[in-house]
């Protein structure tokens, strides 16, 4: 996809999602745009454009399920939901033994409408993907900090119906999931910064816009630096796809979410502390997104352990 095509796609997706209310409307808007066809034909651009738009508009779509299914080598469809790892974790959410699947994890709102649920399981030293009737899972809506996100806590304890297949693709699923969530945080981060910037330029105190005070300017500058660094790591993860580049992008996303939210909330001051202003939705959503496929702290610790075992520091990306 060239730059002009990408800009057109951004505009189409952005305006479609901006008009969608939280919840199922975002799924409908994406379906109308041909999301699944886009994901199959241009996965890199589709992922970036759609998830950044979801982040910017605080949209609650279930497209993450499709990304994971595709990364596992399956055929994404709207009646197939995916069991995601529990908050902060990235190991397969299920265990498969003696013809039974036991699993616990999170799922998007699709779990309530889908016919089937895909559960990736550790099975001894192997990983298997098991497709179960969605009705065999116990799904409970979790409101948490962001009820609009539509997440469910899911438990499965069921004899394994359907065929178990090898799924070496779990690492790939985690990598694609992390990239999707990273793009969503990037979109939300840019949106928070745009809100804080407008406020700083318009809000007058001591006879001048607060944007003229260097302390305020430097906070917003630091927020932009974090956002741009995140965009660069997501670009690197797309150019050199792999476990490590995706993990680094994901950890950068989590850190960026906190940096940007902290600076923007401080600049927004009183109004950002109210539910009259849209900032709170972006803050709450990114707090939730940060924990999907692992938290920054856990990923950083894991990366550090890997480097200390290998006794080297891989450069990963070249000119």
Partner 1 sequence: MEASGGGPAIADFRSDLHAWLDAHRGELAPPFVEPGTLDDQISQMQRVKSLLFAADWMRYGWPERVGGLGGSPMLRTELGAALAARDLTDPGLFSLIEVLAPTLIDFAPPALAADVVPRLLSGAEIWCQGFSEPSTGSDLASLSCRAVPDGDPATATTWVINGQKVWTSLAQYADRCVLLTRTGPVESRHRGITAFFVDMDTPGITVRPLEMINGVREFAEVFFDDVVVPADRVLGEVNGGWSVAMAILPYERSSCFWQRIAYLYRRLERLVEVVPANDRNAEVVGNAFLQLHALRARSRATQHRLAAGATLGAETSIDKILVAAAEHATYDAARRLLPGVIEIDDRAEAEMWRSEYLYSRAATIYGGTAEVQRNIVARRLLDLGSDE
Indicate which single residue of 108, 158, 172, 233 sits in contact with partner 1 (rule: CB under 8 A).
233
Shortest Cβ distance from residue 71 to partner 1 (Å)?
A: 21
Closer of 162 and 314 to partner 1 (Cβ):
314
DSSP annotation of 162 reads S
Work out whether 6 is an interface residue with partner 1 (CB under 8 A).
no
User: CA end-to-end span of the chain, whole Å?
Assistant: 21
Work out whether 315 is an interface residue with partner 1 (CB under 8 A).
yes
Per the CB < 8 A criterion, the answer to whether 153 and 139 are in contact is yes
Residue 139 corresponds to which tokens in the numbers above? 């799904």
Q: Of 195, 203, 186, give the one whose Cα is nearest residue 220.
A: 195
**Paired strand residues for 105:** 154
Work out whether 246 is an interface residue with partner 1 (CB under 8 A).
no
Work out whether 197 is an interface residue with partner 1 (CB under 8 A).
yes
Work out whether 2 is an interface residue with partner 1 (CB under 8 A).
no
- Count of residues binding partner 1 (CB under 8 A)? 45
The CA-based diameter of the chain, rounded to the nearest angstrom, is: 73
Residues 282 to 311: which contact partner 1 by CB under 8 A?
A: 299-305, 307-311
Work out whether 108 is an interface residue with partner 1 (CB under 8 A).
no
Work out whether 201 is an interface residue with partner 1 (CB under 8 A).
yes
Work out whether 185 is an interface residue with partner 1 (CB under 8 A).
no
Work out whether 317 is an interface residue with partner 1 (CB under 8 A).
yes
Q: Is 198 helix (H, G, I), strand (E, B) or coil?
A: helix
Shortest Cβ distance from residue 308 to partner 1 (Å)?
A: 4
Choose one: 68-76, 137-145, 210-218, 269-277; the region binding partner 1 (CB under 8 A). 210-218
Q: Is 282 helix (H, G, I), strand (E, B) or coil?
A: helix
Q: Report how far residue 106's alpha carbon sits from residue 153's, in angstroms, rounded to the nearest whole number.
A: 5
Binding track, positions 248-287, relative to partner 1; x by CB under 8 A: x--xx--x--------------------------------
Shortest Cβ distance from residue 149 to partner 1 (Å)?
A: 26
Q: Enumerate residues 6+ apart whose C-beta is below 8 A from 300.
A: 251
Choose one: 10-18, 44-52, 127-135, 231-239; the region binding partner 1 (CB under 8 A). 231-239
Q: Report how far residue 162's alpha carbon sits from residue 270's, in angstroms, rounded to the nearest whole number.
A: 54
Work out whether 222 is an interface residue with partner 1 (CB under 8 A).
yes
Work out whether 3 is an interface residue with partner 1 (CB under 8 A).
no
Shortest Cβ distance from residue 298 to partner 1 (Å)?
A: 10
Work out whether 212 is an interface residue with partner 1 (CB under 8 A).
yes
Closer of 229 and 269 to partner 1 (Cβ):
229
Residues binding partner 1 (CB under 8 A): 197, 200-201, 209, 211-214, 217-218, 220-222, 224-225, 228-230, 232-233, 235-236, 248, 251-252, 255, 299-305, 307-313, 315-319
């Amino acid at each position: 996809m060239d730059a002009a095509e990408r800009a057109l796609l951004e505009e189409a997706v952005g305006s479609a999602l901006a008009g969608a209310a939280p919840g199922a409307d975002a799924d409908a808007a994406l379906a109308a745009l041909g999301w699944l066809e886009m994901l199959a034909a241009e996965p890199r651009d589709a992922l970036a454009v759609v998830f950044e738009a979801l982040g910017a508009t605080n949209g609650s779509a279930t497209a993450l399920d499709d990304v994971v299914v595709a990364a596992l080598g399956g055929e994404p469809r709207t009646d197939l939901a995916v069991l995601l790892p529990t908050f902060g974790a990235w190991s397969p959410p299920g265990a498969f033994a003696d013809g039974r699947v036991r699993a616990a994890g999170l799922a998007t709102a699709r779990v309530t409408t889908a016919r089937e649920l895909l559960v990736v399981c550790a099975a001894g030293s192997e990983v298997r993907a098991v497709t179960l009737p969605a009705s065999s899972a116990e799904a409970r809506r979790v409101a948490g900090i962001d009820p609009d996100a539509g997440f469910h806590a899911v438990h499965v304890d069921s004899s394994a119906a359907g065929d178990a297949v090898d799924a070496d693709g779990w690492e790939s699923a985690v990598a694609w999931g992390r990239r999707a969530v990273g793009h969503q945080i990037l979109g939300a981060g840019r949106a928070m910064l745009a809100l804080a910037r407008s406020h700083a330029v318009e809000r007058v105190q001591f006879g001048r816009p607060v944007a003229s005070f260097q302390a305020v300017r430097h906070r917003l500058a630091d927020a932009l630096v974090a956002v741009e660094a995140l965009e660069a790591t997501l670009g690197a993860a797309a150019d050199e796809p792999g476990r490590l580049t995706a993990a680094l992008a994901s950890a950068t996303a989590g850190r960026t979410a906190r940096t940007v939210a902290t600076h923007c909330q401080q600049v927004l001051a009183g109004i950002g502390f109210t539910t009259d202003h849209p900032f709170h939705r972006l803050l709450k959503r990114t707090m939730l997104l940060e924990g999907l496929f692992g938290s920054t702290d856990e990923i950083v610790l894991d990366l550090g352990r890997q480097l200390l075992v290998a006794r080297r520091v891989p450069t990963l990306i070249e000119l």
